[in-house]
A and B are shown apart, each in its own frame.
Chain A
Amino acid sequence: MTQLSVNLPGLSLKNPVMPASGCFGFGREYSEFYDLNQLGAVIMKAATGEVRYGNKTPRVAETSSGMLNAIGLQNPGVDKIISREVPFLAEYNMPIIANVAGSTIEEYVMIASAFNNTEHVKALELNISCPNVKEGGIQFGTDPDMAAEVTEKVKTASDLPVYVKLSPNVSDIVGMAKAVEAAGADGLSMINTITGMQINLSAKKPLLANQTGGLSGGAIKPVAIRMIYEVKQHVSIPIIGMGGVSTAEDVLEFLLAGANAVAVGTANFQNPYVCPELIENLPNVLRQYGFDSVTDAVGKGHV
């Protein structure tokens, strides 16, 4: 084990930093900025059963210390992702995590099954928390019984470890986490975006065509830290933390709260090199705060 390496179910990570789903496409664009081999892993853009064209534009709006998005899970469908996108990422020496999104439990199961035996896809991230689609997604992410049911069915259908991506748009995040852990989840991803809205003053109407969107970026980091901190005290499965990570100090803060690894989303848009930069800076930050390794720091922020 090196200072930065992390072992999670299905994932042998050379460092704890990976791009978050939806913010990195399928890696091609950022591979033109730097060598993706530097990344700990990559979480692909969501896969649905069929091609999905997403919401009308405008789909993004800037907010104080963050942004709203309502892309609407646009993707070419799981078959094309497996045939066209996975082979590109498989050229790199890092595990691929497939983000799975559906409208029905059957769709989740079908997509999860499709990733069985897909070389280099080492884990699934179950997206039960996208706030920007009219059907599916969020309803599974806000009802613990439904979240447990979809997790259990996907676990039965999949050979891969399943990380369930939790929605922050709930009153009891610990209850959601415990429900999916009991249903067999191998890990958690948290948090997804927080539902928000911006009004365009000129038009006197919501700016996003979808009206509401998911708030991400630095603005939601304190919410992510709080939820990870709370959940860590009640579950034993590992957590991939996300929500406003943009510096190596942020990575350490997530580790201290209880995350075992982190995903970087919106910060990629501001700085396309953010992932390799914080991988480079993390050893110094760990040392500065008295930790020998990433794993040493996990959960150490708890009182």
Chain B
Amino acid sequence: MKKRVEMTVKSVSEIALDTFEMTLENAYTATMAIPGQFLHLLVGDHTLRRPISIADIDYDQDTVTILFKQIGDGTRQLASLEVGMNVNAIGPAGNGFTYDQSMNSALLVGGGIGIPPLYCLGKQLRENGIEVKSVLGFQTDQHIFYEEKFQELGETYVVTDDGSYGYRGFVTDVLDQAGYFDHYFSCGPIPMLQAVTNKLGKISGSISLEERLGCGVGACFACVIPAGTEGFYRKICSDGPVFAAEEVIL
């Protein structure tokens, strides 16, 4: 059964410009969650819930950590929640990342607020003995988060749009430096995913998509993505948000 749960705020802090980290406690959600899934959060009296991807899971503490960018009234209200308060969540929602445990190496390619689910995934890959390399793209040095955490997982390249930190340019500008890997995992804005999948060609990959959601459970057909020349489609909220790179048409 799908569930709606109340999650308790254990911590909340601004970790980069307009970017918040929030740890939420709920035993069911923490037990069921896998990397790449999201929480569909009810904020204030907003009509639509906010989908926020899972950045970390602590199975011992029954907590899930989310990162989100404050971009409107909903995320501003979410950021204003204090420790001990509850937030209503549907989740874990969607289908997360899957991977072949026999692979040796993986490349993570993330842009902006698409980076958080890759951290959660990267930790699990490392725990399974899979080598992890990461390419992370941010707008400016003020927007950077989790660089050290990714460094702990493996070699990490940081790019900024304006060159204020790391390499200047786009994530695709440094992909060549990452060397060999068996599979890539990417999450970020669709133009970035288009560039990444084009650049990496036929290399096996998984991508996680963002779209405006209605119901968030697959009933309303608001968040579809084309998935074939015959007009076939996939629902991002319930078939995804993670897809094989060749499965959808960006």
A residues contacting B by CB (< 8 A) are: 22-25, 28-30, 32-33, 45, 51, 53-54, 57-63, 65-67, 69, 71, 74, 217-218, 266, 268-273
Contacts and interface: CB of A to CB of B under 8 A. Distances in A.
Given A29-B218, A59-B212, 19 more contacts: A25-B220, A33-B2, A33-B4, A51-B231, A53-B231, A57-B211, A58-B222, A60-B220, A62-B47, A66-B47, A69-B222, A71-B221, A74-B233, A266-B47, A268-B219, A270-B42, A270-B49, A271-B4, A271-B42
Q: Which 7 A-B pairs have the closest CB atoms?
A: A25-B219, A32-B2, A29-B219, A60-B222, A53-B231, A29-B217, A59-B222
B216 interface: yes
B48 interface: yes
Interface string B197-220: 000000000000001111111111
Interface of B is mostly: loop
A273 B49 CA distance: 14
Interface string B227-248: 0000101000010000000000
A271 B215 CA distance: 9
Q: Which of A29, A53, A217 counts the most chain B CB atoms within 10 A?
A: A29
B64 interface: no
30 contacts: A23-B215, A23-B220, A25-B219, A25-B221, A29-B217, A29-B218, A30-B217, A33-B3, A51-B231, A53-B231, A54-B224, A57-B212, A57-B224, A57-B225, A58-B212, A58-B222, A59-B214, A60-B223, A62-B74, A65-B47, A69-B214, A71-B222, A74-B224, A268-B215, A268-B219, A269-B47, A269-B220, A272-B90, A272-B215, A272-B217
Interface of B: 1-4, 42, 45-49, 74, 90, 211-225, 231, 233, 238
Contacts of B4: 33, 271-273
A29 B238 contact: yes
A30 B212 CA distance: 20
A59 B42 contact: no
B47 A54 contact: no
A60 B224 CA distance: 11
B130 to A, nearest CB: 32
Contacts of A218: 47
A66 to B, nearest CB: 6
Nearest to A54: B221
